[in-house]
Amino acid sequence: MTSYDAERRVWSGRRVEPLFDPGRSAGDVVMELLRRDPEKPVLIDADSDRVLTREEVRIRAMRIAQNLRAKFGLLGDNAEEIVTIAALGSENLIPLTVALQCLAVPYNALYPHYSEGEMVHMMKQTQSRLIFCDDLNYSLVMEAAKKSIKENFVIFLLHGSVEGVRSVVELLEETGVEDEFEPVKVKDTMKAIWCILCSSGTTGQPKALGSIHWVSVAYSYDLALIYSGVVVFTRKPFSADLVLDLLEKYRINALNCQPLYANAVAQHLRAKTADLSSLKLWGIGGYFVSDGVRDAVDAILPHGKSYTIYASTECGLIASDLLRRKRGAVGTVFPSMQIRIVDDDGVSLGVGESGELLLRRAIPFAGYFKNEEATRAAFDEDDWFRSGDTGYFDEDGFLYLGDRKSEGFKYIDHVPPTFLEELIAQVDGVEQVCVIGLPLEDKSGELPTAVVVRSKEHQVSGETIADYVAARVRDHMKLRGGVHFVDDLPLTSKGNVKRKEVKRMIFGKCEQLN
DSSP H helix total and E strand total for the chain: 14, 26
Per-residue pLDDT, 221: 42
Cα–Cα distance measured from residue 188 to residue 22, given in angstroms and rounded to the nearest whole number = 10
> Whose CA is closest to 288, among 256, 331, 340, 324?
331
DSSP helix/strand/coil, 35: helix
| pTM reported for the whole predicted model | 0.84
Cα–Cα distance measured from residue 248 to residue 250, given in angstroms and rounded to the nearest whole number = 6
Per-residue pLDDT, 413: 85
CB burial readout 57-93, b (16+ within 10 A) else e: bbbbbbbbbbbbbeeeebebbeeebbbbbbbbbbbbb
* Sheet strand arrangement including 305-312: 254-257, 281-285, 305-312, 316-320, 332-333
Chain centre to alpha carbon of residue 108: 13
Per-residue pLDDT, 202: 53
Cα–Cα distance measured from residue 77 to residue 67, given in angstroms and rounded to the nearest whole number = 18
Query: What domains are there in the chain, each with its CATH number?
Result: 3-13+253-404 (3.40.50.12780), 26-228 (3.40.50.12780), 409-513 (3.30.300.30)
Per-residue pLDDT, 514: 54
Question: From the CB of residue 13, how many other CB atoms can be counted at a distance below 10 Å?
Answer: 22
First to last CA, the chain: 44
Per-residue pLDDT, 263: 87
- Between the alpha carbon of residue 279 and those of residues 310, 334, 342, the distances in Å are 21, 23, 39
Cα–Cα distance measured from residue 162 to residue 160, given in angstroms and rounded to the nearest whole number = 7
Per-residue pLDDT, 259: 86
* Burial category of 402 from C-beta neighbours within 10 Å (exposed 0-12, middle 13-18, buried 19 and up): middle
Q: Taking the chain (514 residues) in consecutive chunks of 10 residues, what is each chunk's mean pLDDT?
A: 95 85 84 91 95 96 97 77 95 95 93 91 95 98 98 97 98 96 86 81 70 58 60 93 98 91 90 97 83 92 96 90 95 95 94 96 83 90 92 97 78 86 89 91 89 88 97 94 94 73 86 61
